[in-house]
Amino acid sequence: MSLQIYIDGKMYPKEDAKISVFDHGLLYGDGVFEGMRSYNSTVFRMSEHLDRLYESAQALHLTIPMSTQEMDAAVYQTLKVNNIVDGYIRLIVTRGVGNLGLDPYQCPTASVIIIADKITLYPAKYYQDGLEIVTASTIRNHPAALNPRIKSLNYLNNILAKMEGLKAGCIEALMLNAKGEVAECTGDNIFLVKNGILLTPPIDAGILAGITRRAVIDLARESGMQVHETNLSRHDVYIADECFLTGSAAEVIPVIKVDDRKIGDGTVGQTTKSMMVKFKALVGQ
């Protein structure tokens, strides 16, 4: 059976799942989204994802035409229709259909799209051997221009940095903020381990407040590890004992080289391995 896509209360086969060319999500990137994971038929931290989705929409003065309870039910309906137990959910809210021009008030009703499918963001070998990444020259959007806490449909900032990474032979790239501080990678949050302390950039460094990021911080603290959300430079990355990335799709993935510099001894560290195991246990895998 063809993959079924939820669009505004109805299911459509993948090949028939279409939106209008006048949808402002397409025309201007005007909308918000969430990427979520389903483990054993349960969406990981659904309430946190929905809170962030609705807060992002509120910041854009975008009214989502259904309650969080209805959205929750629609997500599970989409998983069930597609017989997905362990998978990935892309939840999208666009401004909806309007006229040409930036005026969002020309769009009377927002559109809700839910895609549930299988996903493998990184090949298995990278979880065992670690990633090599580079620092992109493209900086994160300035928070005063577009707050990174809004998970918007406009991902050009990240895509440009991703292209830099790919051209350098790396499937991920590190992004700095306007101050030259470490922010995040193109699709993941970043963590360092130094002298047994877990370090990660604070929210005000211009990063997305990742759901998996928060889960890892909680797991580390529960295990007795010190966690500091603090401003970091590339120097801190280069001299770190370990480095790993987190994200809904990526989960927890090690990094063993940044800008051609080995992190620690150039192999996956014990703390990173421990966090990978703890996260798998948390999600029941």
pLDDT tens across 46-85, in order? 999 999 999 999 999 999 999 999 999 999 999 999 999 9
Check if the beta carbon of residue 96 is closer than 8 Å to that of residue 109: yes
State whether 242 and 142 are in the same domain: yes
Last residue of a domain, one of 81, 101, 117: 117
CATH label of the domain that carries residue 46: 3.30.470.10
What is the spatial distance between Cα 274 and Cα 280, in angstroms, rounded to a whole number? 10
What percent helix, strand, coil does the chain show, rounded to 5? 30, 30, 40
State whether 135 and 276 are in the same domain: yes
State whether 265 and 159 are in the same domain: yes
Residue-wise pLDDT for 14-53, tens only, equals 999 999 999 999 999 999 999 999 999 999 999 999 999 9
State whether 72 and 167 are in the same domain: no
State whether 133 and 267 are in the same domain: yes
Last residue of a domain, one of 82, 117, 152: 117
CATH label of the domain that carries residue 234: 3.20.10.10
State whether 162 and 209 are in the same domain: yes
Task: Output the six-digit token pair for 255.
Answer: 């990094």
> What pLDDT is recorded for position 72?
98
3-state secondary structure 12-24: EEHHHCCCCCCEH
State whether 129 and 270 are in the same domain: yes
Q: What is the DSSP letter of 193?
A: E
Total domains present in the chain = 2
Residue-wise pLDDT for 111-137, tens only, equals 999 999 988 778 899 999 999 999 999
Q: Which residue segment(s) compose the domain that 158 sits in?
A: 124-282
Q: Quote the pTM value.
A: 0.94
Is 151 one of the annotated active-site residues of the chain?
yes
State whether 130 and 248 are in the same domain: yes
State whether 169 and 37 are in the same domain: no
Catalytic residue among 18, 151, 278, 280: 151
> What pLDDT is recorded for position 48?
97
Check if the beta carbon of residue 30 is closer than 8 Å to that of residue 24: yes
> What pLDDT is recorded for position 275?
98
State whether 32 and 136 are in the same domain: no
Last residue of a domain, one of 68, 97, 117: 117
Check if the beta carbon of residue 3 is closer than 8 Å to that of residue 117: yes
State whether 84 and 169 are in the same domain: no
Q: Kindly report the backbone phi and psi dihedral angles of residue 3, in degrees, each rounded to the nearest multiple of 5, phi listed first.
A: -55, 135
> What pLDDT is recorded for position 99?
95
Residue-wise pLDDT for 200-259, tens only, equals 999 999 999 999 999 999 999 999 999 999 999 999 999 999 999 999 999 999 999 999
- Give the angle subtended at the CA of 249 by the CAs of 247 and 250, to the nearest 5°: 60
Check if the beta carbon of residue 246 is closer than 8 Å to that of residue 188: yes
State whether 147 and 97 are in the same domain: no
